[in-house]
């Protein structure tokens, strides 16, 4: 397994080969997302973060996941349509992946090693767990699923990382 999140191949939602390396030099908020979850309205806050900080070398990226009570059952086309029409999402979405277990995607194998502010590391607890990457691809913060995207802890961490980007 690679030690760099940038080097791990992953497809965009439309099937186009990609990687997080496409965002080298940007601060990135990585989120496992789902369309039929009680936390799904967090898409609104994620999109507002994209609009607020996107011009400043920042992006949100979403990884749909169906591992939590089947809350992301849709096809790539259905997911794209839902996110676009319901929440106006224009940040990048990647292929549906597994974030835990035997089929855990290598990106999440690296992300889940990182502790959140309470000291928790390990498996993703639910949809909408968030990881903040520095502009050089290092995980600098982890936020629990219930932490709203525009929570001061998230916004402050984004602003601190953006201040480091020249």
Which residues belong to the active site? Answer: 37
> Hey, which residues does 12 pair with through a beta bridge?
94
Query: 5-157 has which CATH code?
Result: 3.40.30.10
Model confidence band, residue 3 (pLDDT cutoffs 50, 70, 90): low
95, 11 contact by CB (below 8 A)? yes
Q: What is the DSSP string of 60-120?
A: EEEEE--TTTT-----HHHHHHHHHHHH---S-BB---B-SSTTB-HHHHHHTTS--TTS-
Angle between helical axes of 42-53 and 152-164 (0-180°, round to 10): 30
pTM score, whole prediction? 0.96
| Domain residue extents for the chain | 5-157
pLDDT digits (tens, 9 = 90+) for 37-80: 999 999 999 999 999 998 779 999 999 999 999 999 999 999 99
DSSP state of 156: H
Task: List, for residues 142-156, the tens digit of each pLDDT value.
Answer: 999 999 999 999 999
């Amino acid at each position: 397994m690679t030690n760099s999140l940038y080097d791990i191949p992953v497809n965009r939602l439309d099937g186009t080969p990609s990687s997080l390396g496409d965002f080298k030099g940007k601060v990135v908020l990585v989120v496992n997302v789902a369309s039929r979850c009680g936390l799904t309205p967090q898409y609104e806050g994620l999109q507002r973060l994209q609009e607020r900080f996107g011009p400043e070398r920042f992006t949100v990226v979403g990884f749909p996941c169906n591992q939590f009570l089947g809350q992301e059952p849709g096809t790539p086309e259905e997911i794209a349509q839902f996110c676009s029409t319901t929440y106006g999402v224009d940040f990048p979405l990647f292929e549906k992946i597994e974030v835990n277990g035997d089929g855990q995607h290598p990106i999440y194998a690296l992300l889940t090693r990182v502790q959140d502010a309470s000291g928790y590391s390990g498996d993703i607890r639910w949809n909408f767990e968030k990881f903040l990457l520095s502009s050089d691809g290092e995980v600098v913060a982890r936020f629990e699923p219930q932490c709203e995207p525009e929570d001061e802890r998230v916004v402050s961490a984004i602003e601190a990382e953006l201040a480091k980007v020249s």
